[in-house]
Amino acid sequence: MSRLALSDFPPIGGTTLPEFSELRREFVKNFAERGDLGAACAVYYRGRKVVDLWGGYRDLKTRAPWNEDTLVLVFSTTKGIAAMVMAVAHSRRLFQLDDPVAKYWPQFAQGGKAQITVRELLAHQAGLPVIDERLCSTKLADLDRLAEIIARQSPVWQPGTRHGYHTLTLGWYQNELIRRVDPQGRSLGRFFQEEIAEPLDIEFYIGLPDHVDEQRIATIKGFHPLRMLLNLNKLPARMVLTAMSPRSLVARSARNPKFRRASELGGPVYRRLEIPSANGIGQARAIAKAYGDLATGGKKLGLTAETMSELTAPATAPTAGSHDAILKIESAYSFGFVRPSRFFSFGTASCSLGCPGAGGSFGFADPRQQLGFAYVSNKMGFYLFDDPREKALRDACYRCIEQITAAEQTKAPERRTAA
């Protein structure tokens, strides 16, 4: 299908403060010039919502527009939301980062995992990016059975020596840890709803409830495999080459359960299950608001100073260095979040934290600028991060902040002179 002209799209909806009008212009350009189909972007700055935009089609076939209440699958951007659950639990002293996971979950000690700490697990250093037993929707729906399966898994490298993106597995381990330490025994998805989503008044789900109208969910538009082959240059070359072997860690990390296409994570079979690393469904403003609270100290989330210090501290590389065993580039992780690195620089300082998702979505917090940002789309791209649509909005956001800061600095001497 040929690219749609801007006149083919419904009008852009939402609001933007005048100081962030450049971001709105870039959002429009995403449809006019960068091939977006349906998307939303939201920004919280200094605790205030300054951008809340949506546009395009929720479903291209039916020409259903993307509305204010549209929900969308955000793939691995879900990891950042799951990490917030861990942060809240840590603030309530439900676990300590340097304790062994097996202290809270004794069965986890199987297969040489007795000494793996919670810190190592959340930093993708546990050596557990794959599950050898074949998974399916039935097994994923039974959390007790799933816990038994993943507890038996042996690490594929010496924990703490390397790190590698735990594409799907991290969320399942987080989920079981939360179930073990939460006094109510809640799953991660339920803990998130009751302790984060409801207090913040945001709509985001890890495991879609039955009461949500499926007509509100945006239809993900993937791409033909041939187009993927033509865009391999947009991915790390070594990762692509390694993934061609079905027995490689790269391939195995993303193919259990086996999907015909990534969008199945948000389809009827999997959307009601909890896959905390990959199948969150929600709104850009929900992600931005949660990150906005993180960026301003986590008061609404109830985060302690100790937890905030852990969250914003620079990521510590494993003993063998920062080369990622899955992504095949240098990377940085801590507390379940992706952190700025040489290949993926975001935010204005090392204290920034977030997580991108397949297809181009991204949510993050920049505590130095007190900024929470989120972009989501239903048209999948080919980038691990820095999708041109998202990057254009993020860059415009920072240019707006630079102008705000410059104007404030100009006014400050004037006020002092007047005084």
d(CA 273, CA 259): 15
Residue 230: pLDDT above 70? no
Count of C-beta atoms within a 10 Å radius of residue 196: 22
d(CA 23, CA 125): 37
In a domain, 278, yes or no: yes
Of 382 and 293, the structure prediction assigns the larger pLDDT to 293
d(CA 283, CA 202): 8
| pLDDT of 225 | 58
Cβ 150 vs Cβ 169: under 8 Å: yes
| pLDDT of 164 | 98
Range from 28-37, 103-112, 255-264, 326-335 carrying the lowest mean pLDDT: 255-264
| pLDDT of 192 | 98
pLDDT in tens, 388-418: 999 999 999 999 999 999 999 988 766 655 5
| pLDDT of 2 | 59
Of 155 and 229, the structure prediction assigns the larger pLDDT to 155
User: 236: pLDDT confidence band, cut at 50, 70 and 90?
Assistant: confident
Residue 257: pLDDT above 90? yes
| pLDDT of 359 | 84
Residues facing 16 on adjacent strands: 51
d(CA 380, CA 401): 28
Q: Is 199 helix (H, G, I), strand (E, B) or coil?
A: helix
Pairing between β-strand 64-65 and β-strand 353-356 as defined by DSSP bridges: unpaired
Q: Which residue is associated with the tokens 């340097």? A: 98
d(CA 394, CA 63): 28
In a domain, 417, yes or no: no
Domain of residue 309 covers: 6-409
C-alpha 98 chain-centroid distance:
24
Average pLDDT of the residues in 352-360 = 95
d(CA 54, CA 237): 34
Residue 231: pLDDT above 80? no
Give Cβ neighbours of residue 234 (< 8 Å, ≥ 6 apart): 382, 383
> Dihedral of CA 280/120/164/157: which sign?
negative
pTM: 0.95
Q: Tell me how far CA of residue 76 lies from CA of 152, 265, 419, in angstroms.
A: 25, 11, 52
Q: Which two tokens stand for residue 338?
A: 């992706």
| Burial of residue 98 (number of CB atoms within 10 Å: 0-12, 13-18, 19+) | exposed
Q: Which two tokens stand for residue 342?
A: 């040489």
Residues facing 64 on adjacent strands: 59
Q: Which two tokens stand for residue 179?
A: 């179930």
| pLDDT of 417 | 56
pLDDT in tens, 27-45: 999 999 999 999 999 999 9
Q: Is 208 helix (H, G, I), strand (E, B) or coil?
A: coil
| pLDDT of 262 | 86
Q: Domain tally for the chain?
A: 1
DSSP for 122-187 reads HTT-SS-S--SSPP-HHHHH-HHHHHHHHHHPPPSS-BTTBB---TTHHHHHHHHHHHHHSTT---
Q: Phi then psi for 373, rounded to 5 degrees? A: -130, 145
Average pLDDT of the residues in 246-250 = 93
Q: Which two tokens stand for residue 43?
A: 């920004």
In a domain, 414, yes or no: no
In a domain, 416, yes or no: no
Q: What is the mean pLDDT of the chain?
A: 94
Residues facing 379 on adjacent strands: 221
User: 228: pLDDT confidence band, cut at 50, 70 and 90?
Assistant: low
CATH of the domain at 325: 3.40.710.10
In a domain, 158, yes or no: yes
Give Cβ neighbours of residue 376 (< 8 Å, ≥ 6 apart): 39, 40, 41, 72, 74, 77, 283, 284, 287, 361
In a domain, 418, yes or no: no
| pLDDT of 419 | 54
In a domain, 45, yes or no: yes
Helix or strand run (H / E) with residue 7 = none
pLDDT in tens, 146-195: 999 999 999 999 999 999 999 999 999 999 999 999 999 999 999 999 99
In a domain, 144, yes or no: yes
